[in-house]
Structure 1
Amino acid sequence: MVNGVSSIASTVTVTAIEPATPTTLKSNAATTVTTITAKYPTYRSSSLRTVNNWLAGKRQDDASEGFWRVHDSLYDLTNFIDHHPGGADWLKLTKGTDITEAFESHHITTKAELLLAKYRIRAAREPRNVRLTFHEHGFYKTLKRRVREKWNDLDRRPAQYSEFILDCLLIGVFLLLFIAVILDSYAVATVCGLVLAMTMICAHNFFHQKDNWRMLVFNLAFLSYREQRISHILSHHFYPNSNLDLEIFFFEPFLCWLPRSSKKKIRLQRFGSWIYGSIVYALMFLNEFVKRQAEMFFTRNASFHWDDLITLVMPIFMYTTTTNNLWAVLRMWIFIVLVGSFTFGFIAINAAHHHPEIVHSGDSIPADIDFGIYQMATVIDRSDRKDWQLNVLTSFGHHCLHHLFPTVDHGMLPQLYPLFLETCAEFDLEHRQYSWWQMFVGQHQQLARVIPMTYTGGRTKNY
């Protein structure tokens, strides 16, 4: 048990999974929409699906006029870039965009809010493109105030344990690499691929935080923490399952989770993806690398960074510490990467976001839905990944709280459950949890789903 999560989790209702029929969530909300954006995202019409095109589209759509937008005000943070405690990249990347969701969810204390006022230029001329709201007495702001009040009293030791876990996993990867090559064993290489995936998932905890060396571990196998800070954090985390979510767009047309009509979502996409999905998982890492190189070569929008070379550390280590020939090393390295990619994709895609009871773009939601309620509507937590910190860090555990407070170390999130559940009860919201098997089955049901559902807030009810 970690910080009493077992006792907390036992108070949460877990509903048995139903067949793939639409779920209706009823309340008194009058106006509903089927997307969180007022405009269809510009980047969606781009032929090359990259993080840089996503940012370029945001700069066109966000009415930020070349500045940084927070709520309905424009700010010039140019002189603050090099002083930003989280690292300069966050502000460099987001210039010319609306950073409301990032600002609200990445700053728990009031320090940033007080500092921001000195950089204000004027009010924005147009309303926000994103409909997510942050009303002062709404669910998210209420929860954040309560967390802020307890922030200084939280135990920081679990965050140190997270660092220890990643360090041990990283050592394990290189130890298994050495053994696999020495023994020329693909069985050991398979285990190495599994541990590699766990290590990179664990590193995800660290690229959410201020700049640190452990975030670089995410680059071990063709991925880039820099790109993930855009596609995963700035895109997926703030706008999950929407047309602004690159983690939806990147997989289309092969994996289509949005509930389009049966005319737009053909039978092969709906049911064939149950079979060929495994191939998509295995090629994820290589695909992102090839796409990044193609963007640099053809468009010159992407830049080369020294940390892109980290992906070569494993094969160099394998070659220089053994007597195997280069071809044998490369074969085993690619095999390990494919195993790691499949494992990473299998865990990530079945983690929390895809199930017939989870909101996706195309489903009806309140036009002024609260940011925190939207996060809860797009997540179902894993009930079997809460008690052991290693499991949490290597399976995207505590997923709902992680979306609400993404910069908080996964090891510290259990301490927020009492405040979270208290606020959920006050706003008549249910923290939904299903087992791994239910989420696995539900993810495939979601691939097949074409009938939209209606979410209007409140508790989940099956009809």
Structure 2
Amino acid sequence: MTWKSSQISNKFPTYRNSAFITTHSWLEGKRKDDNAEGLWRVYDSIYDLTDFINRHPGGPDWLRLTKGTDITELFEAHHLTNAPERMLAKYKVRDAKEPRNITLSLEEDGFYRTLKSRVKEQLKTIDCKKYSTRSDLIHSSILALSFIFSMASSLYGSKLLAIVAGLFVNWTVIIAHNYFHRKDNWRMYTFNLTLMNYKDWRISHVLSHHMFPNSYHDLELSTLEPFFCWVPNPYIKNFIQRYISWIYFPFVYSVMTIMQYIKRTIYSIAKGVNIIELDDLLPFTIPLAMYVANSSCVFKILQLWLITLLSAGFSFGIIGLNAAHHHPEIVHEGDTMRNNRDWGLYQIDTIIDRGDLKGSQLLVLTHFGDHTLHHLFPTLDHGILPHLYPVLYQTIEDYEGEMRECSWLHHIIGQLKQLARITPNPNPPKK
């Protein structure tokens, strides 16, 4: 088996050879690999969307970020109506000269496009506004509690309250993930409260992970290397990554959000570019609120804020990294894939949902629940997703897919086993 290749593309991704991997190196590599000829590629056509950037309903950043890349999967997953497809035709400049790099399929009569068509009809029967309004209320409430507990920890000098504040900050950030897949909105900015940045995550999570989960094209698979390696590759995974990671993972989880802020700063200095923007100041609103509550000791406030950040980082890691994707029974790069290479079926094969979250919109929002449907339709509010299961189950049955679920504990244990696993699965996913 060749490990210098990807199972879902014709080229091994350029960014993987970078000494210092960032969202920017991922984008640079994708522009080299995608055969998009410096413009935007959808299927086998090249489009010039330059004049449309500032008129894009989702906001200009999506098109600015993706110029020079193949956006086929993004275009399909983020547009549920036919209007964008009709609009796109106006901007075609030529047929592509080279075949697509990504080899997953999106055939008209395939699984994903059939499911998408059925979901469009199902959405007409759902009061979407009702469930999205409920999500907004949950987000606003938890955001408020983040600041209330932060200020209370400062007022009473309580480390315990700082830990609780970190939990609410973490939940605020996870719910914010429900919003940054969509058009620009104020709620997406709350993702920044843990020192992470929603713009970077629009690249690493939306453009990369969501489209190509658990593959070498998945930037989130490499973000925490060398501390963690989930690829079952005996040639790149050492004993420390396989087993000692079981011991040090709580520490890495705790500092991972701080590390991302430091990493962005180092990149900015090393490259001589200013990627630190005004929204990067948002995390500092928490210590500012602490100072307003009690200005007697700045050092104590900084100490409590650090505890809040560490609490938020640990809870984000224990929830996020054990949410759906890392388990020995889930497809990772190197594992045998099913013969049907439909993009939607590939998504399903790289996910095992947390069945213990179903039925609670609060738990789904705060723990990355209904993960399969979210990957397939990322722009839909999480509150809407449960009402699409009948359509999903029927389409999976029609195309012989497998919808799998397990508990959070099962995921945590499975993720540790996945870290240790070096032998690729010889068979496609099964129930």
- 230-239 or 320-329, which moves further after superposition? 320-329
> Taking structure 1 as reference, are residues 390 and 294 closer, same or farther at Cα in structure 2, changes over 3 Å only?
same
Match in the other structure for 2:181: 208
Match in the other structure for 1:226: 199
User: Please, which of 179, 187, 191 is the counterpart of residue 152 of structure 2?
Assistant: 179
> Per-residue deviation at 1:386?
1.1
Q: Deviations over 1:392-439 (max 9, x none)?
A: 000000000000000100000011111101101111112100111111
- Is structure 2 residue 60 aligned with structure 1 residue 88? yes
- Is structure 2 residue 83 aligned with structure 1 residue 111? yes
User: Please, which of 140, 153, 158 is the counterpart of residue 167 of structure 1?
Assistant: 140
Match in the other structure for 1:255: 228
- How far apart, in 1, do the equivalents of 2:360 and 2:368 lie? 12
Residue type at the aligned position of 1:241: N
- How far apart, in 2, do the equivalents of 1:236 and 1:227 lie? 12
Number of residue pairs aligned between Structure 1 and Structure 2: 426
- Is structure 2 residue 269 aligned with structure 1 residue 308? no
Match in the other structure for 1:245: 218
Residue type at the aligned position of 2:413: V
> Per-residue deviation at 1:148?
1.5
User: Please, which of 69, 77, 84 is the counterpart of residue 97 of structure 1?
Assistant: 69
> Per-residue deviation at 1:268?
1.3
User: Please, which of 173, 198, 201 is the counterpart of residue 171 of structure 2?
Assistant: 198
> Per-residue deviation at 1:300?
2.9
> Per-residue deviation at 1:302?
5.0
Match in the other structure for 1:71: 43
- How far apart, in 2, do the equivalents of 1:384 and 1:366 lie? 27
- Is structure 2 residue 403 aligned with structure 1 residue 431? yes
- How far apart, in 2, do the equivalents of 1:258 and 1:429 lie? 23
- How far apart, in 2, do the equivalents of 1:231 and 1:302 lie? 19
Taking structure 1 as the reference length, what is the TM-score of the superposition? 0.90
> Per-residue deviation at 1:228?
0.5
Asked if the contact 2:162/2:308 (under 8 Å) is kept, the reply is yes
- Is structure 2 residue 22 aligned with structure 1 residue 61? no
Q: Secondary structure of 2:356's match?
A: coil
Asked if the contact 1:281/1:342 (under 8 Å) is kept, the reply is yes
> Per-residue deviation at 1:304?
2.4
Give the ranges of 4+ consecutive aligned residues of structure 1 lying more than 6 Å apart after TM superposition. none
- How far apart, in 2, do the equivalents of 1:353 and 1:316 lie? 36
Q: Secondary structure of 2:104's match?
A: coil
> Per-residue deviation at 1:362?
1.1
Highest RCO, 1 vs 2 (Cα 8 Å, sep ≥ 6): 1
Q: Deviations over 1:297-355 (max 9, x none)?
A: 11135522211111111111111231331111111101100110010011000000000
Match in the other structure for 1:16: none
> Per-residue deviation at 1:151?
2.6
Match in the other structure for 1:337: 309
Match in the other structure for 1:123: 95
- How far apart, in 2, do the equivalents of 1:422 and 1:200 lie? 33
> Per-residue deviation at 1:132?
1.3
Asked if the contact 2:47/2:94 (under 8 Å) is kept, the reply is yes
Match in the other structure for 1:460: 430
- How far apart, in 1, do the equivalents of 2:384 and 2:94 lie? 38
Taking structure 2 as the reference length, what is the TM-score of the superposition? 0.97
User: Among the aligned pairs, what percent are the same residue?
Assistant: 47
- How far apart, in 1, do the equivalents of 2:290 and 2:384 lie? 36
Asked if the contact 2:154/2:293 (under 8 Å) is kept, the reply is no
Match in the other structure for 1:17: none
Question: Structure 2: 5+ residue runs without aligned partners?
Answer: none
- Is structure 2 residue 300 aligned with structure 1 residue 322? no
- Is structure 2 residue 10 aligned with structure 1 residue 38? yes
Match in the other structure for 1:395: 367
Q: Deviations over 1:73-99 (max 9, x none)?
A: 100001111111111100000000000
- Is structure 2 residue 26 aligned with structure 1 residue 49? no
- How far apart, in 2, do the equivalents of 1:306 and 1:449 lie? 42
Asked if the contact 2:6/2:12 (under 8 Å) is kept, the reply is no
Asked if the contact 2:6/2:216 (under 8 Å) is kept, the reply is no
Residue type at the aligned position of 2:216: N
> Per-residue deviation at 1:190?
1.0
Match in the other structure for 2:343: 371
Q: Secondary structure of 2:178's match?
A: helix
Match in the other structure for 2:118: 146
Question: Structure 1: 5+ residue runs without aligned partners?
Answer: 1-32
Residue type at the aligned position of 2:178: N
Match in the other structure for 1:279: 251
> Per-residue deviation at 1:152?
2.9
Match in the other structure for 1:21: none
> Taking structure 1 as reference, are residues 131 and 366 closer, same or farther at Cα in structure 2, changes over 3 Å only?
farther
- How far apart, in 2, do the equivalents of 1:88 and 1:108 lie? 19
Asked if the contact 1:356/1:442 (under 8 Å) is kept, the reply is yes
Match in the other structure for 1:412: 384
> Per-residue deviation at 1:37?
1.6
- How far apart, in 2, do the equivalents of 1:78 and 1:151 lie? 32
| 1:336-355 → structure 2 map (5 Å cutoff) | 336-355=308-327
